[in-house]
């Protein structure tokens, strides 16, 4: 099937058109691509990338290729690959190992991508890096560094770092301010609700929406659900975040209490089984469950399967689980990232920032000498640079400090 | 005048009533006070505090006193002292050196407070700490540590640290999450607009409000101005913050552009002369200027004075500056913190968190051994504890991690 | 006392300054005043006005005077009179019968104002019109018409009209779009919260605020409470309005349920006893009760008095009622309009519109021939004119229909 | 093609599943259907309906059929028909004359539906009623009444009424509060943005979105664009509405000014050519144009065609017009209702209310005697009933007036 997809010329043409549309809304990445074309900073570098195969990713891949890299690309989720994009990239000469619905072949694709023997790894969820450490210790030595795109992945990699086994430096691209506070918040916020609208067409106005997790993604989802008129309930384990949610005017409660009154549940925790059997049993008839965290483990689907007397796909992306007491619980997108399963993932405008950080982080890995085998933050210069270029592209002029102000800010003597 | 105030029994009674009202909305500080009364962790400790003398501060002072401390209190701003509070605290046996309008006697009051020869300094704006370093090097040796309450003060103290001259450890209470993200945002946000309403009674709906500075205070002010229906414009020097402001839907522009269209200007930068002559000359007739940053330097009042042909106090807290071309520019509260000059400062509910951090930070300074002469963050345990107690006081139950979830979050092997 | 007030020169000067400040933010009324000065459309007309004696009202009164009218002014609420304004108007030659706190002398003042034998009555709450019908049937014949400013008053007057006893035409100024949708919504919204901040200094962020009544005033109060970060609960009797509140994302419930969880209660119904004994008994300790409806009947104060074991004024505008079980319930501003009892009433910018409707409605009454003895809407031309002038004063240019568009909108033939 | 569609069994099965999903979110219509099944109030009545053929419409049609009606259904827009729904209804025995993309056959379908010789007409945009009056005067006599669903249609029908030619009574279902204030506002608001997301996947956060028209639909679109983080600009011709938009915090300006700075333009006016050549020439590169008004006349597509040097469909629902100066202007969904062209139309929850009004209005037409040949409002009892049933279905309990309160509200004597 994969081969059929990536050789489909019509599909590739369609992919090209859609990639081009996104390109026009990724001006910062465009500037980086122009420079990469001139300077070729990635000449001869082999990159294994495991990313959602979307139009935005395609523009990152083309940017890296413009810089001289050779790239193998696997999808980072079985439901997120856009086949027309895969086809277009394959025609470009990228080694593409991804097609929509590759549940069974997921790890096979990852393995194929690793055959490139990467100098640099781009990861989204840390599956590739974990796989290298578990199954390909021989590859570790030649990897000069990796980039990780998600909160979930960074959590895993910090655990790997603590275990003392991390074999090469990793840049936590996710933690760049121009990534985390934008992509995770505004991107996940809009695209998650977009996915749920596509799957259900339900009205948010007046609906009780439960957002599980109040990190940057959760803040974004809650903010947008409120912006669409929902009555939002937040479930969180961290007291400082829970308090912030309360002060923002959301109702804050435990999962058990929220389970009883919610109508739509959205998980964005990076954790597993945050909605499980004990909660499902308390839910109202017609409750809708969606996940926007990286892995399909946040909703305990196995509990849903165990509790239900029958299961029916009532429309694309919507599975109905019938409970013994007659209640129907709906699972969207098989519990996978709903913004990719039922919509197009993050908008290009915001991925422009995330992927500019990625491209510059790859360049940084190659230029930096002696980076420690740790999880590193994106250098502040890169973060600032991305922000400056983005503002410029948006036509926004910001204020500048005068010399007198700079001096004031660096002195301690002046007061009242 | 000061003596008259602090011996006025009727004033002290009124102060007590108002302090009591605030106390009931500061439950976390109340719990700490109860423990301090039992444990007396501050027995014999001399504290010099330079804080806004409000009902909330009074509850902090009483908490520290309950812990056994002897306290001298000066006001941290000439216009922020509530005389009835000063009177009540003086009757309690606190050494109070503050009265409303002590512009000339400001440093005199500070000096008086330092006569206590403090073990611990509580500062708000870093004036006291700066004064000790500049004028009382003899006191440095006996100070075991200090706490700083504001963003402005922390900026100054980091400059002092960089200069290599910081003589004792300082806890940046301001930077605690349960302080900065709540007091600075929700407290400053609401109280700043409250102050402007009191001074002007102008309608925010439909008004062009320019917020200068988009740190936590600026975010709060912008959010609340928007919440009251204003059309908000943000001016900022930091590209990442400017970008965030734009993504929040605010108009973002340079001070020169904003000067031309704004109707109400609010400065919250921690910097000086952010609104100055060149901007004032571009402003519309009837523009209103207010400051909510710590010092009265953010609006260049000297420029306003120089440009104006006359000045008139048209009502309490509102000075009209007449320009040669007939435009009238209004300065609120003499450019001092408008939330304290024209309202009551931050609400007690949010000061509950800030001052609980303060009280626990004082205890921490006394218990910690060998704290370096640096600017320290509030220990995470204190931050978390404050959040937990606040949630409990609000009757909010949060979610808890299961054992399985904890394990998942600390492992790196599990993925797709 | 009254005489002392209105002859106090210093007070009158202060009043003049404050009236002048408001005048500058009432540009539409200013334009009408200019025309009235030239045209004198109210020459020789006697007006009895019963209005809140605020700086905005002063500008209306001066506009009417500029048009040639002779005016007697009584306050429409015992706690809403600003004495300095009363003094300033008295010095102008207005017959002023109002001073702050005239609980006992309220009707006496009204009676005094009626001695002018009015041609036109301006009313706010319909007390004056009701009084004429009940006690001064002799005056009815000479009244050419009246204007009513409030929702509450219009409800009463429609009841009077239905009873067949209405003796002269009344213009329901309240129902003008440029009054009701602005003054009631944005004016009441902001000023009510302003009053509560002044009385309590409590933080709205994260607080459970119960808004009782979801008419235009209630919509405004709920919107602003949400804008300040509160978690808003709406109580309403009308199903269409209740549904709208739910769709706006508010929690909607009965008063009994809301009573159990609310922290601040705000009544804006135009009805009586919407919060009464049965609800007070369910409330939490420290619940705060405020009213922003016209009369002090919305909260059943008599029930509060009956239930409480003691009552104490803990600060200006805040009475504490101690319940037998130890709970303390706080009543703000004696249950009177909190925006006038603890703040300055509606901002001048929005009263500009309401009072421009008033001034033009007075002119309309005098010009119109044979107006029926009914409650009339403000003529659409006046409503539109006020909107146009306001937009112009705000510097806002709106779009205009082309000839082709006008034709399209008036045809029925053109479709798909 | 049509025949192929409506005989496609697989398509009909898919349609049934999707109609069933919507049915579960239309509880009020469900209750009406149950009663209709028992009472058969529409027995033998022939209905010609011209509506968007969506899952929600299918539930209305099935409700009418349950009441005993015989129904012919045409689509009210060439791009809004969902073929699987058409197939499912055809299998039910409805005379369906609609398929997606029937630009050329649009009037042909309408004609076919009229062959049923209707007793009652359900219209959406007034094309059917206009057609009857223009081309089938013979049918007028037997039509007992009609219902109109849209603002656009009601504008046309009032013009027809004013012309004196309206041949039968029409119920303006659009103007029911439970229709207009919900469907037009919350339904259009959400679904319009949903359509634009589907067509473009652009980020709304920080984008300049121009909403042309500030009726209920425009209010909804503006509110939701703001809720998604956009910086919203409103263009309006009516001064009262323009003023409301300004007070809501939107920027308000003329179309010419908005044209220069907007990034996404959304028309919702019910008028023609609100965006035309003179505006297109001022727009920035990459401006996006979308319409959510009933007809595809709001954007002057002919001007776009005339100005462009070339046109290219870059993806489904997005046409790129290249201007001589290199700017590219994007038109979404061929200028047709974007919420139906690129999404699924209004959510079922809100159509539940609109179509419950429709079903009850049909019953009312049949029961009412001697309805005048005018445009009538939906009787208040129907409006209230729909609201009550909806609240009940949402599990919301509202407050009830006490006897004492009812009396108070109907008296005029009681005041201060």
Average pLDDT over residues B262-281: 97
pLDDT of amino acid D7: 73
Give the contacts of D361 (CB within 8 A, at least 6 positions apart): D147, D171, D173, D378, D382
Nearest residue in A to C230, CA atom: A249
pLDDT digits (tens, 9 = 90+) for A299-328: 999 999 999 999 999 888 999 999 999 999
**Interchain CB distance below 8 Å, C186 and B198:** no
pLDDT digits (tens, 9 = 90+) for B340-374: 999 999 999 999 999 999 999 999 999 998 899 99
Mark residue B365 as left, alpha or beta (left: phi above 0; alpha: psi -120 to 50; beta: remaining): alpha
- Could you check whether C9-179+345-393 and C186-341 share the same CATH topology? yes
pLDDT digits (tens, 9 = 90+) for C18-63: 999 999 999 999 999 999 999 999 999 999 999 999 999 999 999 9
Chains that touch D (3 or more CB pairs under 8 A): A, B, C
| Closest to A65 measured CA to CA, from A47, A52, A81, A78 | A47
R_g (Cα) of chain A, nearest Å: 22
Nearest residue in B to A181, CA atom: B244
pLDDT of amino acid B2: 57
SS3 helix, strand, coil % of chain C, rounded to 5?
A: 50, 15, 35
Chains that touch A (3 or more CB pairs under 8 A): B, C, D
Contact B224, B245 (CB under 8 A): no
**Interchain CB distance below 8 Å, D156 and C412:** yes
Task: Supply the DSSP string of D316-340, one letter for each residue.
Answer: TTEEEEE-TTS-EEEEEGGGS-HHH
> How far apart are alpha carbons A280 and A307 in whole angstroms?
9
Between the CA atoms of A404, A406, A407 and A413, what dihedral angle is there, to the nearest 10 degrees?
Answer: 110
User: Would you tell me which residues 393-412 of chain C have a C-beta closer than 8 angstroms to some C-beta of chain D?
Assistant: 394, 396-402, 404-405, 408-412
A contact test, residue of C202, C211, C227, C231 with most A CBs within 10 A = C231
3-state secondary structure at position A107:
helix
Nearest residue in A to C248, CA atom: A229
pLDDT digits (tens, 9 = 90+) for C356-373: 999 999 999 999 988 999
| Closest to C195 measured CA to CA, from C26, C341, C306 | C341
Burial class (CB in 10 A: 0-12, 13-18, 19+), A386: buried
Maximum Cα–Cα distance for chain B, whole Å? Answer: 73
- Is A43 assigned a ligand-binding role in the annotation? no
Closest Cβ–Cβ partner in D18, D198, D227 for A227: D227
> How far apart are alpha carbons D99 and D89 in whole angstroms?
12
pLDDT digits (tens, 9 = 90+) for B56-97: 999 999 999 999 999 999 999 888 899 999 999 999 999 999
- Is C44 assigned a ligand-binding role in the annotation? no
Cβ–Cβ contact D203 with A under 8 A: yes
> How far apart are alpha carbons C156 and C133 in whole angstroms?
12
Per-residue confidence at B415, pLDDT binned at 50, 70, 90?
low
What is the assigned CATH class of domain B9-179+345-393? alpha beta
Cβ–Cβ contact C25 with B under 8 A: yes
| Closest to D112 measured CA to CA, from D12, D40, D18, D6 | D6
Nearest residue in D to A344, CA atom: D201
pLDDT over threshold 50, residue A394: yes
* Positive/negative CA dihedral, C163, C169, C170, C175: positive
To the nearest whole angstrom, how far is the Cα of A331 from the nearest Cα of chain D?
14
Could you please state the CATH topology (level 3) that the domain comprising B186-341 is classified under: Rossmann fold (3.40.50)
Cβ–Cβ contact D282 with C under 8 A: no
Q: What are phi and psi of A208, to 5 degrees?
A: -85, 110
pLDDT of amino acid B1: 46
| Closest to A203 measured CA to CA, from D51, D215, D224, D270 | D224
SS3 helix, strand, coil % of chain B, rounded to 5?
A: 50, 15, 35
Q: Element (H or E) spanning A156, and its range?
A: helix A151-162
Neighbouring C-beta atoms of residue A112, cutoff 10 Å: 18
Contact A345, A54 (CB under 8 A): yes
Query: Which residues on chain D are in Cβ contact (under 8 Å) with C239?
Result: 384, 387-388, 391, 398
Report domain extents, chain B.
Answer: 9-179+345-393, 186-341
Query: Which residues on chain B are in Cβ contact (under 8 Å) with C204?
Result: 190
Q: Would you say the pTM of this structure is higher than 0.90?
A: yes
R_g (Cα) of chain C, nearest Å: 22
Alpha helices in B40-162 (DSSP H): 55-66, 83-92, 106-114, 127-135, 137-140, 151-162
**In chain B, what percentage of residues exceed pLDDT 90?**
90
Query: Which residues on chain C are in Cβ contact (under 8 Å) with A247?
Result: 205-206, 229
Task: Calculate the alpha carbon distances from B139 to A32, B135, C101, C268, D252 in Å.
Answer: 55, 9, 55, 59, 60
> How far apart are alpha carbons A57 and D349 in whole angstroms?
36
A contact test, residue of C208, C225, C249 with most A CBs within 10 A = C249
Closest Cβ–Cβ partner in D206, D247, D248 for B249: D206
Cβ–Cβ contact D28 with A under 8 A: no
Closest Cβ–Cβ partner in D206, D226, D247 for B206: D247
A251-252: strand order across its sheet: A251-252, A231-235, A208-212, A264-267, A287-291, A328-332, A318-322, A310-315
Cβ–Cβ contact B391 with C under 8 A: no
Cβ–Cβ contact C251 with A under 8 A: yes
Cβ–Cβ contact A320 with C under 8 A: no
* Positive/negative CA dihedral, C361, C363, C366, C370: negative
pLDDT over threshold 50, residue A1: no
pLDDT of amino acid D2: 57
Per-residue confidence at A259, pLDDT binned at 50, 70, 90?
very high
To the nearest whole angstrom, how far is the Cα of D208 from the nearest Cα of chain B?
8
Neighbouring C-beta atoms of residue C393, cutoff 10 Å: 16
Query: Which residues on chain D are in Cβ contact (under 8 Å) with C186?
Result: 247
Neighbouring C-beta atoms of residue B328, cutoff 10 Å: 18
Per residue of chain D (416 residues), give pLDDT as tens. Answer: 456 566 788 899 999 999 999 999 999 999 999 999 999 999 999 999 999 999 999 999 999 999 999 999 999 888 889 999 999 999 999 999 998 888 888 889 999 999 999 999 999 999 999 999 999 999 999 999 999 999 999 999 999 999 999 999 999 999 999 999 999 999 999 999 999 999 999 999 999 999 999 999 999 999 999 999 999 999 999 999 999 999 999 999 999 999 999 999 999 999 999 999 999 999 999 999 999 998 899 999 999 999 999 999 988 899 999 999 999 999 999 999 999 999 999 999 999 999 999 999 999 999 998 899 999 999 999 999 999 999 999 999 999 999 999 999 988 876 65
pLDDT over threshold 70, residue B239: yes
Nearest residue in B to C207, CA atom: B394
Closest Cβ–Cβ partner in A229, A247, A248 for C249: A229
Cβ–Cβ contact A251 with C under 8 A: yes
Closest Cβ–Cβ partner in B252, B383, B412 for A396: B252
pLDDT of amino acid A45: 97
Query: Which residues on chain A are in Cβ contact (under 8 Å) with C241?
Result: none
Neighbouring C-beta atoms of residue D51, cutoff 10 Å: 26
3-state secondary structure at position B251:
strand
Task: Supply the DSSP string of A11-37, one letter for each residue.
Answer: HHHHHHHHHHHHHTT-HHHHHHHHHHH
ipTM: 0.94
Average pLDDT over residues B250-255: 97
Contact B224, D205 (CB under 8 A): no
Cβ–Cβ contact D181 with C under 8 A: yes
Average pLDDT over residues A392-409: 93
pLDDT of amino acid C1: 46
- The parts of chain C modelled with pLDDT lower than 50 are 1
> How far apart are alpha carbons D257 and D253 in whole angstroms?
6
**Interchain CB distance below 8 Å, B130 and A413:** yes
Closest Cβ–Cβ partner in A205, A247, A251 for C247: A205
Query: Which residues on chain C are in Cβ contact (under 8 Å) with D253?
Result: 396-398
User: Would you tell me which residues 358-377 of chain A have a C-beta closer than 8 angstroms to some C-beta of chain B?
Assistant: none
Write down the mean pLDDT value for chain A. Answer: 94
Contact C326, C285 (CB under 8 A): yes
Query: Which residues on chain A are in Cβ contact (under 8 Å) with D17?
Result: 314-315
């Amino acid at each position: 099937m994969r081969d059929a997809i990536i050789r489909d010329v019509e599909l590739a043409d369609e992919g090209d058109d859609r990639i081009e549309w996104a390109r026009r809304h990724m001006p910062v990445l465009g500037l980086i691509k122009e420079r990469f074309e001139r300077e070729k900073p990635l000449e001869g570098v082999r990159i294994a990338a495991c990313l959602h195969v979307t139009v935005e990713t395609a523009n990152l891949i083309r940017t890296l290729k413009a810089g001289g890299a050779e790239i193998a690309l696997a999808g980072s989720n079985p439901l997120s690959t856009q086949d027309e994009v895969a086809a277009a990239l394959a025609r470009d000469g990228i080694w593409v190992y991804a097609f929509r619905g590759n549940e069974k072949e997921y790890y096979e694709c990852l393995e194929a991508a690793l055959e490139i023997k990467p100098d640099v790894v781009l990861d989204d969820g840390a599956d590739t890096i974990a796989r290298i450490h578990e199954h390909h210790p021989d590859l570790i030595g030649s990897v000069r560094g990796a980039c990780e795109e998600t909160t979930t992945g960074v959590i895993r990699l910090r655990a790997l770092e603590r275990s003392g086994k991390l074999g090469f430096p990793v840049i936590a691209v996710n933690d760049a301010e121009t990534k985390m506070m934008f992509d995770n918040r505004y991107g996940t916020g809009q695209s998650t609700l977009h996915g749920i609208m596509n799957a259900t067409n339900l009205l948010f106005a007046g609906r009780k929406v439960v957002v599980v997790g109040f990190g940057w993604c959760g803040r974004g989802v809650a903010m947008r659900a409120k912006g669409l008129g929902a009555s939002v309930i937040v479930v969180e384990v961290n007291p400082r975040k829970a308090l912030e949610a309360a002060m923002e005017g959301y109702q804050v409660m435990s999962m058990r209490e929220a389970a009883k009154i919610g109508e739509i549940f959205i998980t964005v925790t990076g954790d597993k089984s945050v909605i499980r059997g004990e909660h499902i049993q308390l839910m109202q008839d017609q409750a809708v469950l969606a996940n926007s965290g990286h892995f399909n483990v946040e909703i305990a689907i196995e509990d849903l399967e165990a509790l239900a007397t029958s299961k029916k796909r009532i429309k694309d992306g919507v599975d109905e689980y019938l409970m013994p007491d007659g209640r129907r619980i709906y699972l969207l997108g098989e519990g996978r990232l709903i913004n990719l399963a039922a919509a197009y993932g993050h908008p290009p405008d915001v991925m422009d920032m995330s992927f500019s950080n990625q491209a510059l982080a790859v360049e940084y890995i190659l230029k930096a000498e002696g980076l420690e085998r740790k999880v590193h933050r994106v250098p502040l210069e890169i973060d600032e640079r991305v922000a400056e270029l983005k503002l410029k592209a948006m036509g926004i002029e910001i204020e500048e400090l005068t010399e007198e102000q700079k001096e004031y800010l660096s002195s301690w003597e002046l007061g009242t």
